């Protein structure tokens, strides 16, 4: 049974009612309870749990410290292309946006890496818009070895691919795939994805079931917080994580919690997620899953990022540019979304140290290619 079937079998209405009728006693039991319990996750995501943020944060911080120590992994997104054959109303790369479209050539890619590498990064996230014909498997397979020669850990955030194509990329050094469902609500999903392959909700939803068997080490889940009721979306992401961990036990999992940010021509959030809500989300997921990696992007402000550090975050980007060629030419105006934390990698690393964390640049072996 695929996760699509599992999800179809759930009563969203019942879950929603349970979320909004959770009692204080249920929250207390959840915070003290064992990890991995979806009912407990529900309780910790409920409005009732807002009164318990401090005890949740205390426990989340302690669990994170025990599992991950004082380490914070640093990575950087490298935008390969802003070509996109989708029309999505929350994204700056959406097809109808009038902006200069670009795909990095070998030389341009090398130039970007030459700017990134001296900053210390050894973990890179390759990002592209979704353009299957111009920026598809052939392009990825072509450039991966160039990237792998520079970075030990290579992640990708691109369109969903076939299992066979993931397998090809693993052989060329792919270590992780980030693939965000954006929202688990099919109706909301339909309203925001207006044209292109991304309209296929089910294909996207089942992608991790093609990624894991291909031997990809790490799989990243995520929802775009603000598209729908974030409590429901986060809960269903918890169900997704639970489904995957039970079946694909060799994979590591991470989540991202991006809040909807302003972009060129984009929409404003339907449901505003406050800072308090973001804290609740991070703590709830840490208490639900002690091993889960949680990454935090530069969408958030410096002061919020610094304060969220100890609560459960394990990975951060720093000094990001969200347009292809942006590291060589920072003036370009092709951004996917606005970033809030504009500090350089060195500045962020220095803040980490001053707050008692060790910035971790390298945590992987480049030689582990295709042997999993």
Partner 1 sequence: MLTIGDSQFSSRLFTGTGKFASADQMLAALAASGSQLVTLAMKRLDLKAGFDDILAPIRQSGVKLLPNTSGARNAKEAIFVAELAREVLGTSWVKLEIHPDPKYLMPDPIETFNAAKVLCERGFTVLPYVHADPVLCRNLESVGCAAVMPLGSPIGSNRGLETAAFLKMIIEQANVPVVVDAGIGSPSQAMAAMEMGASAVLVNTAIAASRDPVKMALCFADAVSTGRKAYEAGLAQVHQRAIGTSPQQALTAFLSE
Q: In the complex, which residues of this chain contact partner 1 (CB under 8 A)?
A: 65-71, 120, 122, 152, 217, 245, 249-252, 291, 353, 356-358, 360-365, 367-368, 371-372
| 114, 154, 254 from 189: Cα distances, Å | 38, 29, 22
**With respect to partner 1, which residue has the nearer C-beta, 109 or 360?**
360
Q: Which two tokens stand for residue 80?
A: 């390969």
**With respect to partner 1, which residue has the nearer C-beta, 176 or 225?**
176
CB of 283 to partner 1, least distance (A): 18
Q: Position of tokens 């070509």?
A: 83
**With respect to partner 1, which residue has the nearer C-beta, 9 or 118?**
118
CB of 355 to partner 1, least distance (A): 9
Each as own residue / partner, the long-range contacts of residues 144-148 (CB below 8 Å, 24 or more positions apart, any chain) are: 144/169, 144/172, 144/173, 144/174, 145/172, 145/173, 146/106, 146/109, 146/110, 146/113, 147/78, 147/109, 147/113, 147/173, 148/172, 148/173, 148/366, 148/369
CB of 94 to partner 1, least distance (A): 35
CB of 59 to partner 1, least distance (A): 14
CB of 366 to partner 1, least distance (A): 9
CB of 315 to partner 1, least distance (A): 14
CB of 256 to partner 1, least distance (A): 18
The three-state secondary structure class of 80 is: strand
The 3-class secondary structure across 246-311, one letter per residue, is HHCCCCEEEEECCECCCCCCCCCCCCCCCHHHHHHHHHHHHHHCCCCEEEECCCCCHHHHHHHHHH
Residues 6+ apart with CB under 8 A from 111: 328
* Cβ proximity of 357 and 309 under 8 Å: yes
**187: how many CB neighbours lie within 10 A of its CB?**
9
**With respect to partner 1, which residue has the nearer C-beta, 177 or 225?**
177
CA dist 332 and 77 (Å) reads: 16
**With respect to partner 1, which residue has the nearer C-beta, 260 or 313?**
313
**With respect to partner 1, which residue has the nearer C-beta, 158 or 244?**
244
**281: how many CB neighbours lie within 10 A of its CB?**
25
CB of 358 to partner 1, least distance (A): 6
* Cβ proximity of 370 and 171 under 8 Å: yes
**With respect to partner 1, which residue has the nearer C-beta, 137 or 351?**
351
**With respect to partner 1, which residue has the nearer C-beta, 4 or 248?**
248
């Amino acid at each position: 049974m695929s996760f699509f079937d599992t999800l179809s079998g759930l009563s969203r209405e019942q879950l929603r009612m349970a979320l909004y009728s959770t009692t204080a006693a249920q929250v207390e039991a959840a915070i003290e309870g064992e990890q991995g319990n979806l009912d407990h996750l529900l309780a910790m995501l409920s409005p009732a749990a807002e009164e318990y943020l401090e005890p949740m944060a205390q426990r989340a911080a302690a669990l994170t410290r025990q599992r991950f120590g004082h380490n914070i992994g640093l990575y950087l997104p490298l935008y390969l292309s802003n070509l996109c054959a989708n029309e999505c109303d929350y994204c700056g790369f959406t097809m109808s946006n009038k902006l200069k479209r670009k795909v990095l050539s070998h030389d341009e890619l090398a130039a970007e890496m030459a700017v990134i590498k001296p900053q210390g990064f050894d973990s890179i996230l390759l990002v592209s818009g979704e353009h299957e014909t111009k920026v598809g498997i052939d392009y990825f397979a072509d450039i991966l070895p160039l990237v792998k020669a520079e970075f030990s850990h290579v992640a990708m955030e691109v369109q969903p691919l076939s299992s066979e194509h993931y397998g090809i990329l693993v052989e060329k050094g792919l270590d992780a795939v980030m693939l965000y469902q954006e929202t688990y609500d099919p109706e909301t999903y339909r309203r925001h994805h207006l044209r292109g392959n991304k309209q296929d909700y089910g294909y996207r939803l089942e992608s991790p079931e093609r990624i894991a068997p291909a031997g990809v080490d790490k799989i990243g889940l995520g929802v775009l917080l603000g598209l729908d009721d974030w409590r429901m979306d986060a809960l269903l992401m918890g169900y997704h994580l639970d489904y995957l961990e039970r079946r694909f036990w060799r994979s590591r999992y991470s989540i991202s919690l991006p809040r909807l940010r302003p972009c060129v021509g984009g929409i404003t959030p339907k449901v505003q997620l406050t800072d308090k809500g973001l804290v609740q989300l991070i703590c709830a997921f840490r208490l639900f899953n002690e091993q889960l990696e949680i990454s935090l992007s530069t969408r958030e402000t410096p002061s919020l990022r610094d304060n969220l550090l100890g609560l459960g975050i394990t990975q951060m980007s720093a000094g990001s540019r969200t347009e292809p060629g942006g590291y060589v030419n920072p003036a370009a105006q092709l951004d996917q979304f606005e970033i809030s934390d504009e500090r350089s990698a060195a500045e962020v690393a220095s803040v980490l140290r001053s707050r008692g964390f060790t910035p971790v640049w390298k945590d992987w072996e480049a030689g582990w290619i295709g042997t999993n």
